[in-house]
Amino acid sequence: MGEGITGYIKVFIAIFVLVNPLEGIPFFLNNTRGMSTDQKNAIAKKTSTAVLFILIFSFFLGKYVLTLFGISTGAFTLAGGIIIFLISLSMVLGKSNQSDKSIPGDNQSSGSDFAIVPLAIPLLAGPGPISSMILYGGGTTNVWQLLVIPLIAFAVSVAVYFSLKAAVPLELKLKKTGVDVLTKVTGILISAIAVEMIHTGLLQLFPILGK
């Protein structure tokens, strides 16, 4: 049991690091500018719920979906890297976000559309976490694992919620200029991660490139 618990802790750490809730904070702040605290908390909840659904779906059905459409993990990683790179460009170049046009008090406005795409997927629950959950799903050997790993996904989604919720008071301290700087710096870091993903995807699709 001790080894089992240690293994599950390692799974949690691996998924948490891959999801990296802190990575989404600048994007979250940049796209919720001008919204009320209640609206921001609602978007944080929507994003964390989407992350939970994506992780659990990947765990139970991910491998079947990839097989059904004939998608390789290399192609999936490459596509995710390209999308994330485009997101990082918008963060660095400072393109205006749609939340500035949202209607105050309207939690259902189009300003919250980014909560699922691209914030939940692929920025947080991207190719890394999804691929890992697919591998965990294919490697389960007992019912206990089928119960515990979804609970781990739930714990990670809770961490996502509180990380994004903590961004609200952080915004008050950083002010607009601080948020802009944080967004651009994070965008550069995310672009580097995206390039690594593209590189990994290309190597998986074309192994000869690594020789």
> Alpha-carbon distance 4 to 44, whole Å?
32
Would 24 be classed as within a structural domain? no
Domain that holds residue 174: 37-97+113-210
Domain count for the chain = 1
Taking the CA atoms of 104, 105, 109 and 114 in sequence, report the sign of the dihedral they define.
positive
pTM above 0.85, yes or no: no
Would 125 be classed as within a structural domain? yes
Would 25 be classed as within a structural domain? no
Would 122 be classed as within a structural domain? yes
Give the model confidence (pLDDT) of 164-201 as tens digits.
999 888 888 888 888 889 889 988 998 998 999 899 99
Would 53 be classed as within a structural domain? yes
Question: Which one-letter DSSP state was computed for residue 72?
Answer: -
Give the model confidence (pLDDT) of 43-82 as tens digits.
999 999 999 999 999 999 999 999 999 999 899 889 988 9
Judged by DSSP in three states, 20 sits in coil
Would 80 be classed as within a structural domain? yes
